[in-house]
């Protein structure tokens, strides 16, 4: 049986109070010279535009293999720091479903997104996290920032960006959590999605939250208000129980139609995998209702 890795406070992380480049090299398993080469190389990232199912373009900045290995190592170390109760992504054994589940039965729900979260997370904020929050020396914090960022901010395709985007704004999220809890509201954060709920979410609460977001140089958008016990949170319909939105059932219906028209076995296999994924998602949502 494999030993489970325990979470610990940030002050017990190997990164905390990291003062020498020699120790950093040992923790990351690579020489400082090689780290600096990767951080400063023009070809450390491959970039392209990716079009999603909705036709929306997203610019991808994918680190080269060697840099990605280092970034994954840092991400693994940060993911071992005990997450707050309100954080649901990226956290192991928490998901978009458990995120939505926290708000079942609430009369008033407010959702908003942080706009272009990774791109808006500056190198300055990343450096602040490593130097001020994790107490790394200036040169170590500078190296960690250099291998974590591109063009003065977080890259869109790095395995480190999801967890580091949270920690780079950990002071903001802690303050937002305090504001919500002082108003006896429930708060959850799923990457760039923020949800607040309660019997009533006072206007002053949202005003103070917006102020905190702006203070960190971030912008919010897509603010939505739901009332009377109905909401949609991270793609899940929330009432007295959880359910998938109708568009997801329609997607499955369309896939089944496509299956009947598929001309080759390869096409059939691709569509069947998609149908299986939709079925698995629906089963996960239904199973989560057993514990409400």
88: nearest Cα among 262, 277, 201, 235: 235
Q: What is the mean pLDDT of residues 222-236?
A: 94
Give which of 116, 146, 119 is closest to 131, Cα–Cα: 146
In a domain? residue 258: yes
Confirm whether 9 is domain-assigned: no
* Rg of the chain on CA atoms, in Å: 21
Query: How many domains, in total, are found in the chain?
Result: 1
| pLDDT value at 3 more than 60 | no
pTM of the shown model:
0.91
Assess if residue 252 is contained within a domain. Answer: yes
Domain containing 249 equals 244-290
Q: Is residue 65 part of a domain?
A: no
Residue 79 has pLDDT above 80, yes or no: yes
Decide if 43 is inside a domain. no
1 pLDDT above the threshold of 60:
no
Structural domain contains residue 120:
no
In a domain, 21, yes or no: no
Q: Which tens digits make up the pLDDT trace of 144-189?
A: 999 999 999 999 999 999 999 999 999 999 999 999 999 999 999 9
Bridge partners (DSSP) of residue 243 are 237
Rounded mean pLDDT, 56-73? 94
What does the pLDDT average to over 189-209?
Answer: 97
Query: Would residue 285 count as lying in a domain?
Result: yes
Q: What is the DSSP code (8-state) at residue 89? A: E
């Amino acid at each position: 049986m494999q030993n489970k890795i325990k979470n610990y406070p940030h002050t017990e992380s190997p990164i905390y109070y990291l003062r020498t480049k020699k120790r950093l090299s040992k923790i990351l398993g690579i020489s400082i010279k090689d780290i600096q080469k990767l951080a400063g190389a023009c070809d450390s990232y491959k970039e392209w535009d990716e079009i999603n199912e909705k036709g929306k373009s997203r610019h991808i900045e994918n680190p080269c293999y060697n840099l990605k290995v280092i970034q994954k190592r840092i991400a693994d170390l940060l993911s071992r720091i005990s997450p707050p109760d309100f954080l649901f992504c990226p956290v192991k054994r928490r998901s978009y479903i458990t995120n939505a589940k926290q708000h079942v039965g609430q009369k008033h729900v407010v959702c908003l997104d942080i706009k272009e979260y990774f791109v808006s997370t500056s190198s300055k904020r990343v450096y602040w996290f490593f130097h001020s929050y994790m107490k790394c020396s200036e040169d170590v914090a500078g190296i960690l920032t250099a291998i974590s960022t591109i063009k003065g901010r977080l890259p869109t395709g790095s395995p480190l960006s999801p967890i580091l985007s949270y920690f780079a704004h950990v002071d903001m999220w802690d303050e937002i959590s305090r504001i919500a809890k002082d108003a006896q509201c429930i708060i959850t954060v799923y990457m760039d999605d923020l949800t607040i709920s309660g019997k009533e979410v006072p206007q002053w609460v949202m005003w103070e939250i917006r102020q905190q977001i702006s203070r960190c140089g971030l912008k919010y958008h897509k603010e939505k208000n739901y009332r009377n016990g109905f909401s949609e949170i991270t793609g899940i319909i929330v009432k007295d129980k959880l359910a998938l939105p109708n568009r997801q059932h329609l997607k499955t219906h369309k896939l089944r139609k496509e299956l009947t028209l598929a001309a080759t076995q390869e096409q059939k296999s691709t569509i069947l995998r998609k149908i299986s994924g939709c079925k698995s998602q629906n089963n996960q949502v239904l199973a989560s209702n057993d514990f409400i």
